[in-house]
Structure 1
């Protein structure tokens, strides 16, 4: 498989390494080479089976427009752009393209989301108050993290409560920690996911690209990860 990786940050570099380890041909574009999606011309994009984006909330929207307009396949690990999701869905449908997006490509986080849903379901009528705390590296651009927002949405759906407060921290080179707390007057239950390495994100993104390479349509990693 021919893979184009957009973004040469820490996760983007690791995605390229993992893709190469899995036997794929890899080309990487950094922000300077692809300002305003200028490098993503139809002939250039046509040279790849899947495009993987780990850039920034500002860059990813233009990148998606350019890539999906050609009918190509794209995996997006960048977060902070979901207010444009409906526009992306419509473009995918019009162009018969493929888009797989996710707030977190770690399998452990996907399991955490399932457990969070179960926590909310079982505790919703027991007087518990839910809160989320997340910690990431200082260069992470979106705050709170997309994963924290996903956790919040899962808990809100399963409990019916209106809001789940999120506290965000940016510290050093932290790969990422998410803590969901359910607290009552008598006790508390804590669910934690701590990343030691970005490799789990990179491996998940490459597996997602392999899965998407034979499909069209728009997919949330949370809904399809078990198929990989």
Structure 2
């Protein structure tokens, strides 16, 4: 397949390596330096785009590609306040859009484990919290993965109605502490604490390869489909 890369940072480079290993062609590499060439990505030269950019540019990148008739796999975070607009665009263009806050198979299993633990802890004398740690180049906080974890917890925990990006004593909120440390691909710790003990589940990424492979698998899967999809669809979770 011919696959376009929109965003060519560390993640984009890791994705390119896997694309080549799997026999695909990189049709176009879009960075901040050649952003005007985004409009050159069309169905006659690109089967699907993989987009990993910044919160500020993600929506424009996604909507441009969809408007041009090219399906998009996106892993950008921090722009989801405009997700409904993308859904409407996909519907009007009969396009294909795949979004995940995290493309790692292990993380998506962790999402399910997190929801199950929250269900078990509901109504018990434990308070929940989270710490997410990433490399210093990550611009948004909390991470999209942390937000997805918090949303999964809120589905199961009565009285938890929101998350905040700090420690909190508010029983209605889940506190997420964000730490930025050099050369950390991504770590998420979810804890339940009482006066007696603490239960913690963790996911620790050792490299970006798992995220990159998941994005490539999503791109391979998306071609020929219309609608909005997630890792639950790809992995049948």
TM over 0.5: yes
What corresponds to 1:226 in structure 2? 235
What corresponds to 2:12 in structure 1? 12
Residue 44 of structure 1: CA displacement? Answer: 3.0
Residue 185 of structure 1: CA displacement? Answer: 2.1
Work out whether 1:180 is the aligned partner of 2:190: yes
Residue by residue over 1:155-198, the C-alpha shift from the partner in whole angstroms, topping out at 9 and shown as x without a partner, is 01011222211000011121010000011222111110011100
Select 1:95's aligned residue among 83, 93, 100.
93
User: Could you tell me how far apart the structure 1 residues matched to 2:69 and 2:194 are?
Assistant: 50
How many corresponding residue pairs? Answer: 223
Residue 61 of structure 1: CA displacement? Answer: 1.0
For structure 2, list consecutive stretches of 5 or more residues without a partner in the other structure. Answer: 162-172
User: Could you tell me how far apart the structure 2 residues matched to 1:186 and 1:114 are?
Assistant: 26
User: Could you tell me how far apart the structure 1 residues matched to 2:41 and 2:90 are?
Assistant: 19
What corresponds to 2:166 in structure 1? none
What corresponds to 1:67 in structure 2? 65
What corresponds to 2:164 in structure 1? none
Select 1:190's aligned residue among 200, 211, 219.
200
Residue 128 of structure 1: CA displacement? Answer: 1.3
User: TM-score scaled by structure 2?
Assistant: 0.91
User: Could you tell me how far apart the structure 1 residues matched to 2:236 and 2:70 are?
Assistant: 21
Answer whether contact 2:15 2:215 (CA < 8 A) is retained: yes
Residue 60 of structure 1: CA displacement? Answer: 1.1
Residue 108 of structure 1: CA displacement? Answer: 0.7
Residue 227 of structure 1: CA displacement? Answer: 4.2
Select 1:45's aligned residue among 42, 45, 70.
42
SS in 2 for 1:218: strand
RMSD (Å) for aligned C-alpha atoms: 1.3
Work out whether 1:3 is the aligned partner of 2:3: yes
For structure 1, list consecutive stretches of 5 or more residues without a partner in the other structure. Answer: none
Work out whether 1:213 is the aligned partner of 2:211: no
Flag the 1:187–1:225 CA change in 2: closer, same or farther, 3 A: farther
SS in 1 for 2:57: helix
Answer whether contact 1:130 1:183 (CA < 8 A) is retained: yes
Off by >6 Å, runs of 4+ in structure 1: none
User: Could you tell me how far apart the structure 2 residues matched to 1:117 and 1:211 are?
Assistant: 26
User: Could you tell me how far apart the structure 1 residues matched to 2:132 and 2:192 are?
Assistant: 15
SS in 2 for 1:140: coil
Answer whether contact 1:74 1:100 (CA < 8 A) is retained: yes
Residue 127 of structure 1: CA displacement? Answer: 1.4
User: TM-score scaled by structure 1?
Assistant: 0.94
Select 2:129's aligned residue among 128, 131, 137.
131
